[in-house]
Structure 1
Amino acid sequence: MDWSGRGQHAEFDATEETKIPLILESHLGHSVTALVESVRCRRIRLARKTVLVSRRLKKEEAMKEVEHLQRLKHSHIIRVVGTYTLPRKLSILLYPVAEYTLETFLETTLDDLPAEDRAARMYSISTFLRCLAKAVAYIHDNAMKHMDIKPKNLLVRDMRNSIICNQGKYKIYIADFGIARSYRSVDDCNTESPTAYTKMYAAPEVVAQERRDQKADIFSLGAVFAEMLAVLANNVDPDIPNSDILYSIRTSDATDSSYAGHAPTIQEWLRQLSITTYGFESDTYHSHITELVALMLSVDPTERPTANMVVDNIPFRAFCCDVNGGTEPFEAANRASERQLYDRAFEISEADLRYFRCMVDACVKVYSSREKLRYHTKVIRPWQQ
């Protein structure tokens, strides 16, 4: 995508800032090193992450995140649209823009919500487990480690006005590859050099700065899964505040609130957790998922499953994520009006029995009556038959 008219990666001098073809919409967040804003490029809404380049943080280091993301093309991984530089500034344009981080999504799900919205959120959380596992497996299969999986680095997008096929009402993405590492092969991922990390979600071997491989990501993912299961369990029995219980386990030691510091106790809590809705109705399924997450939090890396093992062992299997593949297509910012036009067009085509909607909940793709297919396919126009 040549967003700038100068190519995907453009350079502007100080006098050209007003010529950058982006319209600022809102402030999304910030950290010590970066500012994130929502911007409009033509009809597409993008996230702009701006990093100040200095003697301490050189442009080449800031570009590492771009290099990592350009290697990855997955429906649940944020995509790079382009970059541009101004004197002492590097801006990265990312797609899509999300309404929540997983952290804020889980927090607001615990609030008083209309029953329909709560049900949609709970259903989505249950599908996020497999979506995230598949995305991490894809990252690992490409000889890469994320190194900083945590709820703040996972984005959740409201898909209710989207025309993109998605089984749930919300969709999750892995973001922030700022400290990720890529290697020539999976075998080279085993390293012992010092690295930055977020202590709360880091694996024990990372905290100790010992030799580590891709299994460190599995521990961090397991910590995230534990928080998601706690929210699902809260909905099963509101009288048992599982999210609060998990928090109290982590903070029982005033000097260490990390998952690594309390892994055995959290594993014990997980194995007693009751999750009997949203795809985990059977005793086999809900005990299977809690045991799987407990193993992901093993102190010994060799006892943790690989990402592909996690994918294969999650009992509830989301469908649309398996079908989409590749990066997510661009969608116009005014999704509500576009969705109305889309729905009206298919009301007309359904009326003459030429086409039928996919039976997957919330999916908007269609198939023709002649094809007799039970999975997603492209629309076949009458003149193509």
Structure 2
Amino acid sequence: MNAIKTPSIVVVREGEDYFCEEDVQLPYRLVRNLGHGHSAIVEMVEDVNTGSVFARKVFSLNVPRTERKRIFDNEIKIIRRLAPHHHIIRVFATYVAKREAGLILHPVADSGDLATFLRDFKEAKAAQLVQPERTKVFESSFGCLASGLAFMHRQKIRHKDIKPHNILIHQGSVIYTDFGYSLDHSAIGRSTTTGKPQAFTRLYCAPEVSDHSPRNSKSDIFSLGCVFLEILFVLYEELVPPNSGECYHESLETSRLRSSLQGLNRLGMITSDMLHPRPDDRLSAEEITSKLKEYEAGRFCAKCKAFMLPEVEELPDAPVPPSLTGPSFRSMPGDQNTPQRMSFNPSGILQRDTRDDLDLHPLLPPPSRFRPPANLNSADPIAHFYNHDPRSIVRTRNSSVLHSREFKSKEISERRSDHKKHMLKHNKYFKCDIPNCTRKGKGFTTIYDLSRHEKTVHRIGAKGIFYQCASETCRNKGKTWARLEIFKQHLDMMHWDEDEQELIRRSVYCPDTPPSMAEPARPAHQTAPSAIV
């Protein structure tokens, strides 16, 4: 009698792809089912060899074989391409067996998906339970989701099905998952697609997706805006959700939800701009991330903050020794033999160097670089850039990184020109000299901002057509806009429910500029920005 052959258990290693024969058995034990999607089921499994726990995505046999293979190959390629970002699921290994194909993914979300997380939060809130840890996850999720989507779009990837069910919560952090129907448009050069979508979720889809109109990466922005909206609903009681089952792109146009968002706070305004019915009027993922960094820095997790705001060693207040400023001194941190402190990996992610940190000192740049203008007066406020830069310069191998100590800023600039622009935001040298001006003493970042203020507020040098909002409900009565496109932004944000063209027609304003209000001569320090070298 022939002995029954026992299948051998394969050892699965990270990064490998396995084609399993009939006599090979995978080392996974089913723990529980996690859910299912358009084309696959997801299970929690344990590796019997190592005890490690993974999520196994098994592709359904109900899907035609060619379609199943396309989705399987597409998801592997995209997830591995996006692997450097910490808010995107990772592939541990893949396998193809006789009856199934699967992805071994990690991490396994310890708090489930965002939809479940939101539902549990609502139930606990209804029971009046305090949930500081869950609230913290929600507060930081906005920036993390925006940065993750910005990374996808930089890599020429459209997710195409962003929704709470496809966002995991693991150790208090959000993670994008389910890239089976995502589009890699790096080869074709554009993200626009046409025809009937292969798969989408009507509740969260953009209007152009629902209508089967041409769509592009801005469709992802709308879907992410819907996710932002659901998180805002649980954080702010003044926001009233639409009727259950009603699509967001329909409810936004038939309710006061958009105006409620715009009046909520800056985050609400950003979310409203993501949910614009016209794709071209939506913010890009990069713009959303940039706005959140600038105005809502607390909306990121600690890891994102470490990447975008790397800490710089506090520099001493002692003056620079004269011996270090002479032409003969050339050995500085950042030379070819000195390891750099921060670096970009090949995927464009800013990372901290694992080698020994530099022993930083306040060093002046070599005399041949960043030379101040010959006619610079030491009493001139512009001289601040040269008098204080020795304390702000930290050099790396490839660039001069400037860091503002005086304003206790976390801003890191890789070029001196960027540092100059950043410091202008603090110093605001350009002052309005008109008596009783509400901005007197506060100043403006550039000469152009000051000129625009004088034209719109004081009518100095005002020529041509201006705009004063004629809406009866406007909260900015008396304010003047010099540019039509900026005035249109005001109308989109504050008066979206009124006839735009009619309101523009009634808002046209042509100021009369008397001779006595001719543009005055500029003070000596209010030179054009090009004078700041």
In the superposition, the TM-score normalised over structure 2's length comes to 0.51
Kindly indicate whether residue 209 of structure 2 is the aligned counterpart of residue 206 of structure 1: yes
Deviation at 1:117, TM superposition (A): 6.0
What amino acid maps onto 1:232 in structure 2? L
Match of 1:254 in 2: none
Distance 2:278 2:253 in 1: 11
- Deviation string 1:313-346 (CA, Å, 9 cap, x unpaired) is 2232225232566xxxxxxxxxxxxxxxxxxxxx
Kindly indicate whether residue 274 of structure 2 is the aligned counterpart of residue 292 of structure 1: no
Match of 1:86 in 2: 97
1:298 counterpart SS class? coil
1:130 counterpart SS class? helix
**What RMSD, in angstroms, separates the aligned Cα atoms of the two structures?**
3.3
Go from structure 1 to structure 2 and tell me whether the alpha carbon gap of 1:259 and 1:71 turns closer, same or farther (over 3 Å shift): same
8 Å contact 2:157–2:183 — kept in the other structure? yes
8 Å contact 1:203–1:220 — kept in the other structure? yes
Match of 1:272 in 2: 260
1:48 counterpart SS class? strand
> Which residue of 111, 120, 134 maps to 2:147?
134
What amino acid maps onto 1:39 in structure 2? V
Match of 1:360 in 2: none
1:63 counterpart SS class? helix
Which residues in structure 2 correspond to 1:224-243 (within 5 Å)? 224-234=227-237, 242=239
Go from structure 1 to structure 2 and tell me whether the alpha carbon gap of 1:25 and 1:319 turns closer, same or farther (over 3 Å shift): closer
Deviation at 1:137, TM superposition (A): 0.3
Deviation at 1:130, TM superposition (A): 0.4
Deviation at 1:270, TM superposition (A): 4.3
Distance 2:12 2:306 in 1: 28
What amino acid maps onto 2:303 in structure 1? C
8 Å contact 2:42–2:55 — kept in the other structure? yes
- Deviation string 1:193-222 (CA, Å, 9 cap, x unpaired) is 432211111111111111111100000000
Distance 2:286 2:201 in 1: 24
Go from structure 1 to structure 2 and tell me whether the alpha carbon gap of 1:288 and 1:32 turns closer, same or farther (over 3 Å shift): closer
Go from structure 1 to structure 2 and tell me whether the alpha carbon gap of 1:115 and 1:371 turns closer, same or farther (over 3 Å shift): farther
Distance 2:277 2:258 in 1: 15
- Deviation string 1:46-87 (CA, Å, 9 cap, x unpaired) is 100111345353323322111111110210000111111111
Go from structure 1 to structure 2 and tell me whether the alpha carbon gap of 1:272 and 1:139 turns closer, same or farther (over 3 Å shift): same
8 Å contact 1:263–1:298 — kept in the other structure? no
Distance 2:119 2:301 in 1: 26
Go from structure 1 to structure 2 and tell me whether the alpha carbon gap of 1:110 and 1:43 turns closer, same or farther (over 3 Å shift): same
> Which residue of 102, 114, 131 maps to 1:118?
131
Which residues in structure 2 correspond to 1:249-268 (within 5 Å)? 251=245, 257-265=246-254, 268=256
> Which residue of 27, 30, 45 maps to 1:39?
45
8 Å contact 1:34–1:51 — kept in the other structure? yes
Structure 1 or 2, whichever has the larger Rg, is 2
Go from structure 1 to structure 2 and tell me whether the alpha carbon gap of 1:50 and 1:320 turns closer, same or farther (over 3 Å shift): same
Kindly indicate whether residue 75 of structure 2 is the aligned counterpart of residue 68 of structure 1: no
Go from structure 1 to structure 2 and tell me whether the alpha carbon gap of 1:246 and 1:181 turns closer, same or farther (over 3 Å shift): same
Match of 1:316 in 2: 296
Go from structure 1 to structure 2 and tell me whether the alpha carbon gap of 1:271 and 1:185 turns closer, same or farther (over 3 Å shift): farther
Go from structure 1 to structure 2 and tell me whether the alpha carbon gap of 1:45 and 1:292 turns closer, same or farther (over 3 Å shift): same
Distance 1:202 1:296 in 2: 12
2:23 counterpart SS class? helix
Q: Which moved more, 1:189-198 or 1:213-222?
A: 189-198
Deviation at 1:5, TM superposition (A): 5.4
Deviation at 1:183, TM superposition (A): 1.2
Distance 2:216 2:141 in 1: 24
More helix by share: 1
Match of 1:363 in 2: none
Distance 2:88 2:211 in 1: 29
**Identity rate, percent:** 28
Distance 1:270 1:104 in 2: 26
Match of 1:105 in 2: 117
Match of 1:237 in 2: none
8 Å contact 2:14–2:93 — kept in the other structure? no
Go from structure 1 to structure 2 and tell me whether the alpha carbon gap of 1:247 and 1:269 turns closer, same or farther (over 3 Å shift): closer
What amino acid maps onto 1:175 in structure 2? T
Which residues in structure 2 correspond to 1:39-58 (within 5 Å)? 39-41=45-47, 42-53=50-61, 55-56=64-65, 57-58=67-68
Deviation at 1:7, TM superposition (A): 6.5
2:303 counterpart SS class? helix
1:292 counterpart SS class? helix
